[in-house]
Amino acid sequence: MNWSDDEIDKLFQESSSQLNVPYQESFWEEMETLLPAPQKSRRGIAWIWGGFMACILLIGTLFIPFKKIDTPSLGRVTAGKQLPGTPVHAMQASAAQHAVPLTQTQVESTSEKATVPTKPVHVGATTFATLQDATSPLNITVSTQPGQTSGQRLQAARPALAPNTAVALAAPVTPDFVAATESSVHEAENTAVSREPQSVAPETATATTDPVTDISGSESAATTVDNLQALPLRTFREPIAQTDLLPTTFDLLERNRHLYIQLGAGIAQSYISGTNHSSMMPTVAFGAGYLYDPKGWGFSAGLNFQSAFPANLEITQRSQIYGFGVTTYQQNLCYTQLYTVELPLNIQYRKGRHIFSAGLAPTFLAGTLMNLSRSENDEEQENLWYLGKKEGLKSWGLKPTLAYQLKVGKTTMIGMQLNLQTVSQIDPQQFSGKHTALPLSGQITIRRTLSK
Amino acid sequence: MTMKPTHLYVTALLFVFAISAGCKKEVQDLPPSNDPVFRVSGTFGTEAVQVTAGQDGAYMNTWVDNVKGVNCYKGKLCDSDFEIELGIYAGDIDIAGFAPAHITNATQFQWACLSSEPLVRLSKDSLTNSALIDNIKWFIDGVQAGVNDLNIYRPGKYEICALVKFTDQTQSNVCNELIVGYEKNAAFRIQHFLGQNSVLKSWVEVEAGEIASVKWISDGEYIGEGQNLGTILNQEQHIIEAEVAFTNGTKRNRSILIDGSLSGKYIDDFARLERNNIINWDYKAILKIRKNGVDYSSLNAQNDTQSITISSISYFGKNTVGHPVYILKGKLKANVKSLSNMVIPVDLDISFGIVVPE
């Protein structure tokens, strides 16, 4: 059944004339259910990541000044705001936050008086004298759903009110849309409900104006149509406009700023190449960072931990002690793993799903896994493992990087990067073999952003 | 299960702390290399020679040798081709104990040499009652070395025993220690007189040194003290022994055979036959070389004008048996002679190890 707006309006007129909703506390509870569920605070996560990424965030704020957005936009909680010309108000959380004293007023009805404790209700910029007014079908704005007409929305709102309606009518009200003339309908629409506590004859209606929310700006007097007291109704000269509520998701960061974690694996040129060993060494890395990833230019800053597995990084030390004969001591220090901390700082350019970046990564050799074997006159005396030794190795380095990443999902990127270690990581005098001056390395990476 | 940021953060921190802190155990440094300690280099005849302990399998051996009852402190450095042995003889062997300062403070060592003449001649005919002696068998350290006559050419400390057979076919045996070719820090002889009433009078006649004490022993039993002894003997033969100690530390024993029957079957103190040294091996050096399988010795060669000039002597350490070893550094010049009478001059710079007891 497709109703026209006029028919719907008339239906509202008749309904409101019959409406006598006594106040109940459960109204607030039901209103609570209409409100969106509060989001989990992410302050705990913010504190944890803040400690870990404090320096990176600081760098980010230096390059990207914070910009306040004045207009309602996605990602913000917006309280309902009454726009000029639109009589619809959003009711979100505001009603429950305002404590106002109760006042009593008499709600005018056709057959009986009902004293309903009411309190002024502030909804957005609008103040309603009574809950009734605030919950009037004419003043209710429900959560929008795409595709709903205004009538459907109002129809959806009605069940919240209907069970609590305590209206006793002297006579059933049968809306007679045929008999009602347009003029009488309009007269009935202009009848206002009395706001003041006063006795009103059933047959009479006091036409009063709403001093606060006279949206239409016109005063109207109650009239009687078919012995039914028509309540003054507001005139909807403009179609009801619904403002779609924005998603109320409370994000920690704005859309283009993310925290990420990253895994990588690849190979690198060995610092020393020998005839008996491979000149390449595998590497694995994992890290995290901060990414500013808008369309076009952006940047990232991270903290990576890399483990490399050299095959021929060995120091041989010999000592000969002469006495009655000679005792030859030999000590072999063989590095099997190198642990490096890197701080990659990259500038990137994103075009669609493709991300090209370049940057610099200071590196620090945090530790090693080393095997020490000691022999005396070519007889092995002991074989030990050491963690953290750096004999013959340099701690600091600097790696320019080039990278390409492809966004394969909302939060996932895969890519590859090339690095060049520009600072020698070893003391070539202590290692035997050919020294690689500028070792090149490559990695395949998988990056996942943590924010939506 | 997805990894929460909290887990990643904690894992990363643990990773950094673990690898940065590392194991606190320190890598022990190797002992620093040093230069070779024992080596010789120079010429052997016309050939250049260089032997270094620890190179090419060369090793420095040190030990104490006993040569004719006298200690010789030796060292030998050898490789597969060349072997050199150097020894220093002890001195003042009649004084108990050893004074290492004679070696460690020395600036020069002379070469020990042999004498063409006997250092000691023991003969039956040199005894006063030789007419009553049929023969004397001389034993040196238990080994018969001669009959009636004994000539000793090599210096040493010998235990000489005389097995005397008298003309009445009775035998007697008397032994004495003889120091030959070494310094005697005291000189004495035992004299005796046996009277008709078998009263024995014996005394110590000092030729050098100052007596500190004398103990008399008859047939193994203590009978008295003092430089002079008076006792009564029976009609049999008796061994009278005197233990003489001198104020300079010298300690010697002398024994005589006395015939209580007064039949003339006695043996005087033949130790008095120790002659004044014509050679003296106290703190003398000896050099032995083996090259190409041929042995050479400095004893057989003329080395009156050669010597070892010492630049330094320092303590090195202890050898495998715990004897202290010193490093002798200096210049060695000597002539060595083979059994085939080939004489080779040797001129070496040495850094040599020998044992010097404490």
Q: Tell me the per-residue pLDDT of B257-272, one tens digit each, with 9 for 90 and over.
A: 988 888 888 888 888 7
Residue A325 has pLDDT above 90, yes or no: yes
Name chain A contacts of B324, Cβ cutoff 8 Å. none
Short-list A316, A288, A313, CA closest to A301: A288
Name chain A contacts of B16, Cβ cutoff 8 Å. 305, 341, 366
- Name the β-bridge partners of B61: B76
Q: Does A326 touch chain B (CB under 8 A)?
A: yes
Q: Does B354 touch chain A (CB under 8 A)?
A: no
CB atoms within 10 A of CB A336: 15
Mean pLDDT of B190-212: 87
pLDDT score at A374: 93
Q: Residue A426 burial (CB < 10 Å; 0-12/13-18/19+)?
A: buried
Dist. CA B334–CA B307, nearest whole Å: 6
Give residues 34 to 53 of B whose Cβ lies within 8 Å of A. 34-38, 53
Dist. CA A94–CA A31, nearest whole Å: 11
> Strands, DSSP E only, in A276-353?
280-292, 296-308, 313-322, 326-342, 345-351
Look at B153 and A108; give whichever has higher pLDDT: B153
Mean pLDDT of A360-365: 96
**Rg, chain A, Cα only:** 38
Name chain B contacts of A319, Cβ cutoff 8 Å. 30-33
Dist. CA B102–CA B228, nearest whole Å: 36
Q: Residue A68 burial (CB < 10 Å; 0-12/13-18/19+)?
A: exposed
Residue of B nearest to A48 (CA): B6
Name chain B contacts of A320, Cβ cutoff 8 Å. 33-34, 54
The tokens of B249 are what? 């530390």
pLDDT score at A146: 53
Of all residues in chain A, what percent carry a pLDDT higher than 70?
48
* Residue at B59: amino acid letter: Y
> What three-state secondary structure class fits B132?
helix
Residue A428: which residues within 8 A CB-CB, separation 6 or more?
A272, A435
**What is the end-to-end Cα distance of chain A in Å, rounded?**
42
Q: What is the DSSP letter of A162?
A: G
pLDDT score at A429: 86
pLDDT digit string, tens, across residues A269-290: 988 887 666 688 999 999 999 9
pLDDT score at A77: 36
Report the relative pairing of strands B70-78 and B82-89 from DSSP bridges. antiparallel
Assess contact for B53 and B39: CB atoms under 8 A: yes
Dist. CA A395–CA A365, nearest whole Å: 5
Give, to the nearest 10 degrees, the angle between helix A5-18 and helix A150-161: 10
The tokens of B24 are what? 């606190």
Give residues 48 to 77 of B whose Cβ lies within 8 Å of A. 53-55, 58-62
Dist. CA A9–CA A175, nearest whole Å: 12
Give me the residue from A48, A288, A329 closest to B30, CB to CB. A329
Tokens 């050098």 sit on residue: B208
> What three-state secondary structure class fits A357?
strand
CB atoms within 10 A of CB B146: 15
Tokens 């600091």 sit on residue: A396
Dist. CA B223–CA B229, nearest whole Å: 9
pLDDT score at A300: 94
* Residue at A399: amino acid letter: K
* Residue at B117: amino acid letter: E
Assess contact for B68 and B345: CB atoms under 8 A: no
The number of residues making up chain B comes to: 358
pLDDT score at B72: 95
Look at A76 and B318; give whichever has higher pLDDT: B318
Dist. CA B104–CA B102, nearest whole Å: 6
Q: Does A45 touch chain B (CB under 8 A)?
A: yes
Q: Does B351 touch chain A (CB under 8 A)?
A: no
**Rg, chain B, Cα only:** 31
Name chain B contacts of A303, Cβ cutoff 8 Å. 12
Short-list A219, A201, A198, A202, CA closest to A210: A219
Give me the residue from B12, B18, B37 closest to A323, CB to CB. B37
Tokens 């005796």 sit on residue: B192
Q: Do A261 and B37 touch (CB under 8 A)?
A: no
Question: A396: pLDDT confidence band, cut at 50, 70 and 90?
Answer: very high
Q: Do B22 and A367 touch (CB under 8 A)?
A: yes
Give me the residue from B5, B22, B59 closest to A325, CB to CB. B59
Helices (H), A162-205: 182-189
Residue of B nearest to A451 (CA): B5
Question: B87: pLDDT confidence band, cut at 50, 70 and 90?
Answer: very high
Q: Does B21 touch chain A (CB under 8 A)?
A: yes
Question: A35: pLDDT confidence band, cut at 50, 70 and 90?
Answer: confident
Name chain A contacts of B15, Cβ cutoff 8 Å. 305, 339
Question: B76: pLDDT confidence band, cut at 50, 70 and 90?
Answer: very high
Assess contact for B48 and B291: CB atoms under 8 A: no
CA of A409 vs chain B CAs: smallest distance (Å): 17
Dist. CA B334–CA B319, nearest whole Å: 27
Of the ranges A137-146, B260-269, B330-339, which one carries the lowest mean pLDDT score?
A137-146
pLDDT score at B27: 72
Report the relative pairing of strands A228-230 and A126-128 from DSSP bridges. unpaired
pLDDT score at A88: 38
Question: B211: pLDDT confidence band, cut at 50, 70 and 90?
Answer: very high
Best mean pLDDT range from A83-87, B30-34, B333-337: B333-337
pLDDT score at B98: 75
Give me the residue from A319, A341, A366 closest to B32, CB to CB. A319
What CA–CA distances, in Å, run from A388 to A424, B15, B18?
19, 12, 9
What are residue A435's phi and psi, to 5 degrees?
Answer: -85, 130
pLDDT digit string, tens, across residues B154-179: 999 999 999 999 999 999 999 999 99
Mean pLDDT of B80-86: 93
The tokens of A93 are what? 């959380």
What are residue A45's phi and psi, to 5 degrees?
Answer: -65, -40
Assess contact for A183 and A35: CB atoms under 8 A: no
pLDDT score at A395: 93
> Cα–Cα–Cα angle for A444, A450, A452, nearest 5°?
120
Question: A100: pLDDT confidence band, cut at 50, 70 and 90?
Answer: very low
Residue B63 has pLDDT above 90, yes or no: yes
Short-list A424, A426, A420, A433, CA closest to A275: A433
pLDDT score at B273: 74
Question: B24: pLDDT confidence band, cut at 50, 70 and 90?
Answer: very low
Mean pLDDT of A227-250: 60
pLDDT score at A246: 52
* Chain centroid offset of residue A185 CA: 48
pTM here?
Answer: 0.59
CB atoms within 10 A of CB A403: 21
Dist. CA B94–CA B186, nearest whole Å: 8
The tokens of A218 are what? 């016109």
Q: Average pLDDT, whole number, for chain A?
A: 69
Q: Does B31 touch chain A (CB under 8 A)?
A: yes
Mean pLDDT of A221-226: 52
Mean pLDDT of A175-204: 43
